[in-house]
Amino acid sequence: MDIDETLVRHVARLARLELTDGEVADMVPQLSRIFAHVDQVQDLDVGDADPATQAPVGLETLRGDEPGPVLGLRDVLSNAPDHDGAFLVVPRFFDDASDEG
Amino acid sequence: MTPAPRVLVGMEVHLQLATATKCFSPSPYHFGADPNTLIDPVVLGLPGALPVLNREAVRLAIRTGLALGAEIAHITKWDRKNYFYPDLPKGYQISQFDQPLCEGGAVEIDGDDGQPKVIRIRRAHLEEDTGKSTHDEGGAKSRVDLNRAGAPLLEIVSEPDITSASEAERYLDALREIVAYVGTSDGNMQEGNLRCEPNVNLVFPNGDRTAIVEVKNINSVRNVGRAIEFEIVRQAREYAEEGRTAENTPRSTRGWDDDAGATVHQRWKESADDYRYFPEPDLPPLAIERAFVERERAELPELPRARRARYRDVLGLSAYDAEVLTGDPHLSAWFERALGGQRDAKTVANWVQGELMRYLNEHKLQLADVALTPEGLGELVDLQSDGTLNARTAKELFREVVASGASVAALVAERGLAQVSDRGAVEAAVRAAMERQAQAVEDFRAGNPKARGRIFGEAMKQLRGQGDPRQVDEVLNTLLG
């Protein structure tokens, strides 16, 4: 896979990372080496096995619809930088909203 | 003047499935709970927490798919859709990308020309819901409630076969009716368990087309129609005045502002690739046996459009009656039980739509609050049609038993309410009435036909309202000469 500065900037934007021009320049050879490393997997002979991540399971293995325990409100809020009563509070977002569809 | 464009609307509907727990964790979910109280480590995406799929969510999704005539996948799989949003704690949504649970299918509606019209379904896939955020007016903060995060959603995507705002409204009504019949979702837009995002664009006779706009944040079927109407006008104006087309304008998302009655630009769309979908490593693909699918298919109830047609064509009800009685599956089931398979459909329909609906409306009640059973109404109908009760007594009895649930037959026996149809008793009552209303008899014989009503009324009074009016009329004719 060809890694160039445009791709690095694009991925950085999707990951909401602010990179300086110097960091972008550094990333190009680093990411190229990482991809080259992973690409070695392509050389494996897997015969005619279907591409699959895992073997499928049947419906009988799934969880029944019985409610389990929930976290207490204090625990839910404990990792949040800010909260207002029971609500988590974040900086107002809208314009930068991603698609929830 | 630009010639009228063709309107193309495709619908994305998110249907919250009526499970007790979330899609990928046993955390309970129901509408209206205190904020952030229906949460477990999976919902929060805490380190080490792993998703486990809810079988009931899959079953309800399959059942809905079958009701829409979709093909159910033999193998379906889960994918991560990556994006950052505060109401999505993990930083990705578990969804389905290239192997959705359901493909194809259709919803039939009445087209704008009054003819049946098929709206094709492209696909329906299972995914998890996000939390809910509220933005203070003009404030710098947003507040987040994660209760809804992880609830199971079926996203139903239609082909752009809808060609007007009113067809879009009828599509949603039809879809809501279907899920109400098969019992897979409450389908309530106000409570957010059915959400709809229309995708709207226009095609002009010269082939120019406007960029597709997706409209979000719509909370009622009527507002879906209003939003589409607004977009048709707005896109046509931007095309005419600024030459905006899909060639020079990217796709965008707009939000519906109910107060302004307008859509408001939110953002330009990222391309699908930017979600960096990849197979969910924490969930294996799912194999769905055909035996399971066929069992679910066999258990589907008669669907609303088929039932409506049967009420019209087999039971002989008017289109209006069929529409009202099938509009709500509970009402329809009640009607069918009252009908009991052999009673006159029109008579039973009149009782249900007349007295029963009037009672519900007057007392602001739901059908489930009514003490009278459908079989009880059937009994009442039988007693009226075999002549035991006259119409007035039947209505009085109805008003009593609808609230108490008492047996109609028992009340009739207990109070001697059976209609008096013994000819001797009727004659005696009419004679007594003629004596008491001697002046009226004289007036009638002197040529005043109105006076007859007073004698008739008196005769019915003598019979304590239980006379058969036709018989009283007949006897009165004989005796008055």
| In a domain? residue A54 | no
CB contact under 8 A, A59 and B292: yes
| In a domain? residue A31 | yes
Q: What pLDDT, on the 0 to 100 scale, is given for residue A96?
A: 44
Q: What pLDDT, on the 0 to 100 scale, is given for residue B271?
A: 59
Q: Helices B165-182 and B221-242, interaxial angle, to 10°?
A: 150
Higher-confidence residue: B175 or B342? B175
Task: Tell me the nearest-neighbour CA distance from B204 into chain A, angstroms.
Answer: 28
Could you give the residue ranges of the DSSP H alpha helices within B245-344? 290-298, 304-313, 319-326, 329-339
Chain B residues within an 8 Å CB radius of A81: none
* DSSP letter string, B451-480: HHHHHHHHHHHHTTT-B-HHHHHHHHHHHH
Higher-confidence residue: B56 or B430? B56
pLDDT at B132 over 60: yes
Identity of the residue numbered B123: R
Partner residue facing A87 (CB), from B12, B82, B145? B145
CB contact under 8 A, A63 and B26: yes
Higher-confidence residue: B135 or B319? B319
Q: What pLDDT, on the 0 to 100 scale, is given for residue A45?
A: 86
Split at pLDDT 50, 70, 90, the class of A98 is very low
Which helix (H) or strand (E) segment holds residue B255: the answer is strand B252-257
pLDDT at B157 over 60: yes
pLDDT digits (tens, 9 = 90+) for B70-111: 999 999 999 999 988 888 999 999 999 999 999 999 999 999
pLDDT at B275 over 60: yes
Mean pLDDT of chain B: 92
Higher-confidence residue: B338 or B85? B338
* DSSP letter string, B36-96: T-S--HHHHT-TT-----BHHHHHHHHHHHHHTTPEEPSEE--EEEE---TT-TTSEEEE-
CB contact under 8 A, A63 and B88: no
Split at pLDDT 50, 70, 90, the class of B417 is low
Q: How far apart are CA B192 and CA B32, in angstroms?
A: 11
Q: What pLDDT, on the 0 to 100 scale, is given for residue B421?
A: 61
Q: Could you tell me the two tokens for B225? A: 């129609």
pLDDT at B21 over 60: yes
pLDDT digits (tens, 9 = 90+) for B196-235: 999 999 999 999 999 999 999 999 999 999 999 999 999 9
Closest CA to B105 of B148, B75, B67, B150: B67
For A5, B83, B196, B459, the CA distances from B333, given in Å and listed in that order, are 65, 45, 28, 42
pLDDT at B354 over 80: yes
Whether B76 and B130 have beta carbons less than 8 Å apart is answered as: no
Mean per-residue pLDDT for B243-265?
94
A6 touches chain B (CB under 8 A): no
| In a domain? residue A51 | no
Partner residue facing B40 (CB), from A70, A77, A84? A70
Q: Could you tell me the two tokens for B272? A: 């699908």
A93 touches chain B (CB under 8 A): yes
Closest CA to B127 of B148, B105, B144, B104: B148
Task: Tell me the nearest-neighbour CA distance from B412 into chain A, angstroms.
Answer: 49
| Residue that the structure tokens 């194999």 belong to | B287
- Our count of domains for chain A comes to 1
pLDDT digits (tens, 9 = 90+) for A33-73: 999 999 998 888 888 887 777 899 999 999 999 999 999 99
Q: What pLDDT, on the 0 to 100 scale, is given for residue A49?
A: 80
Partner residue facing A86 (CB), from B26, B35, B269? B35
- Range with the poorest average pLDDT among A21-25, B36-40, B293-297, B432-436: B432-436
| In a domain? residue A23 | yes
Q: What is this model's ipTM?
A: 0.86
Closest CA to B417 of B384, B376, B389: B389
Task: Tell me the nearest-neighbour CA distance from B71 into chain A, angstroms.
Answer: 17
Count of positions (residues) in chain A: 101
Task: Tell me the nearest-neighbour CA distance from B143 into chain A, angstroms.
Answer: 5
Task: Tell me the nearest-neighbour CA distance from B91 into chain A, angstroms.
Answer: 10
CB contact under 8 A, B37 and A73: yes
Residue A36's CATH number: 1.10.20
CB contact under 8 A, B86 and A90: yes
* Domains of chain B, earliest start first: 6-291 (no CATH), 302-415 (no CATH), 423-480 (1.10.10)
| In a domain? residue A24 | yes
| In a domain? residue A21 | yes
Which helix (H) or strand (E) segment holds residue B103: the answer is strand B102-103
Task: Tell me the nearest-neighbour CA distance from A13 into chain B, angstroms.
Answer: 10
Which helix (H) or strand (E) segment holds residue B425: the answer is helix B423-436
pLDDT digits (tens, 9 = 90+) for B280-290: 999 999 999 99
A74 touches chain B (CB under 8 A): no
Residue A26 belongs to domain spanning: 5-42
- Range with the poorest average pLDDT among A16-30, B175-189, B375-389: B375-389
Beta-bridge partners for B82: B92
Q: What pLDDT, on the 0 to 100 scale, is given for residue B413?
A: 77
Q: What pLDDT, on the 0 to 100 scale, is given for residue B257?
A: 94
Q: How far apart are CA A64 and CA B52, in angstroms?
A: 10
Residue pairs between chains A and B whose CB atoms are closer than 8 Å: 158
In percent, the amount of chain B with pLDDT more than 70 equals 97
Chain A residues within an 8 Å CB radius of B59: 59
Split at pLDDT 50, 70, 90, the class of B272 is low
Q: What pLDDT, on the 0 to 100 scale, is given for residue A100?
A: 41
What is the 8-class DSSP label of residue B481? -
Could you give the residue ranges of the DSSP H alpha helices within A40-80? 73-78
Closest CA to A77 of B144, B129, B85, B150: B144
A44 touches chain B (CB under 8 A): no
Mean per-residue pLDDT for B300-325?
95
In percent, the amount of chain B with pLDDT more than 90 equals 68
In percent, the amount of chain A with pLDDT more than 90 equals 61
| In a domain? residue A98 | no
